Amino acid sequence: MEGRRERPPASRAKKPAAKRTTTEHNGTVAAPSHAGSCGPRRGARSRGAERDGDPTKKPTTRARPGQASMRITDLRSSATGATGVAEQPAFLEHLPPAIHDPEPPASPELQPPAHPEAPEVARGSSRRRGARSVGQLRASRASRKELEETPEGKLKNVLEKLKLKREKISKAADVVNKIVKRLLSRMKNRESEFKDVQQLNTGSYYERVKISAPNEFDVMFKLEVPRIQLQEYRDTGAFYLVKFKRIPRGNPLSHFLEGEILSASKMLSKFREIIKEEVKEIKDSDVCVEEEKPGSPAVTLLIRNPEEISVDIILALESKSSWPISTKEGLPIINWLGTKMRTSLRREPFYLVPKDAKVGNSFQGKTWRLSFSHIEKYILSNHGTEKTCCEVGGVKCCRKDCLKLMKYLLEQLKKEYQELEAFCSYHVKTAILHMWTENPQDREWDPKHLSRCFDNFLKFFVDCLRTEKLMHYFIPKFNLFSQELIDQKSKEFLIEKIEYERNNGFPIFDKF
């Protein structure tokens, strides 16, 4: 359906070049294309920008001197990503103990014009000319409707509906901030083993990939533990037993030792007990502590007013020593973000959360699991080979759009099928990190080819399910899709559902 650029009449060709317009017949300007492996390479101009109205009609209006440059400025200033407002980059540093709005408000100059043809109508000097402009406007509306019905348009429409509403973000942030700050302050001011905890915000909300509603938050309460020794549990690479190299007199954590081993279950149990005591003292908010989930490292708060909000408070041990040997070949970003970036990130602390290793149908209560959520958050915010990727004024990509769409697809499928309970958004995030590693160039994630990029990611994810192989991004020998963690029947069921959605235009996306 790409429109063809019309040759101007012979009478216009005699005019000086300075007075010729560089706009198309609909008043738009062709934008440069950066097609990569996710879409066919195009020429210097994108035909998609020319398709506004009936492509068989000849131009009915002529741009006056000065009009073309004005429109070029408007269109350049209105450029946004596939999801709307460009996101600000994040830097690897300790965040203040507060929830910040992850998406800055759009400035007026970033808003696209409502109707590109509107200025022509306003300046029309004759009745006939104004009538033609109105006809073009109607054609423009029709073409936009047709675009929404294409695979590309449908996905962009879904992303638009998944954007967090600013008013809800503000309300949720205020409520969560108030409660988390209060718990942190009380914990610091009481004589307990956790009086030195600090806050670290993690999870999809702070990674700016949260979808639908700001109703889930992950907050780490980190506790630095110097001079620890790790003993790998059953060659997993991910689970460890923690020992102290030397236990100084008066070490408050000595209460949680079982022999030489720091018991994760004992420490988490005490942590939960203190939080429950402090929550009981909160009288001005409707908040409670949910029942403990077997194997979960989090103490989950449920806030019921003004809307239901779930807050996972995760206890984490912070170690500033070298990363464990099991991570040596992990974080494969050398050909993507570079050797210097990988070296810098590996100098950051790593964390251990009280996650019990599964042994048959039971859990090992002493184990801790490695966590690199702070590194994942940094990568998601600094994901381009170009440093300005997705910054205001920078070139956009659709990496995070593909992640949001796949997260939403899995979320909707899990609502309908209990067979998918074993799958989680971390599987999606791990898979797309590998996908970005294999396709590192920004041009391979051109937002103009969102549909093709998303389809390539779905194929990659399905391949991981078929081969039963999804290796942890930081721990290459830890397979998240192993038989021990997820049975083959569940993986085959998810393959079937994903393929059905792909082949039928994602009918589940229409169930809002």
Q: How far is 381 from 208, CA to CA, in rounded Å?
A: 8
What pLDDT shows up at residue 31? 41
Extents of the domains making up the chain: 10-77+104-162, 164-325+349-371, 397-512
What is the model's pTM?
A: 0.70
Question: Does 134 score more than 70 pLDDT?
Answer: no
Which of 158, 121, 146 lies closest to 54, judged by CA? 146
Which range has the worst mean pLDDT, 77-81, 197-201, 220-224? Answer: 77-81
Does 3.30.460.90 match the CATH number of domain 164-325+349-371?
A: yes
What pLDDT shows up at residue 54? 44
**pLDDT tens digit sequence for 167-211:** 777 788 788 888 998 998 888 887 778 888 998 876 555 545 556
Please give the CATH architecture assigned to the domain spanning 397-512: Orthogonal Bundle (1.10)
Q: How far is 444 from 370, CA to CA, in rounded Å?
A: 32
**pLDDT tens digit sequence for 18-38:** 444 444 444 443 444 444 444
Amino acid at 344: S
C-alpha to C-alpha distances, 287 to 291, 310, 386, nearest whole angstrom: 13, 10, 44
Mapped to the 3 state alphabet, what secondary structure does 455-485 carry? Answer: HHHHHHHHHHHHHCCCECCCCCCCECCCCCC
Strand boundaries in 346-443, DSSP class E? 350-353, 357-359, 362-364, 368-371
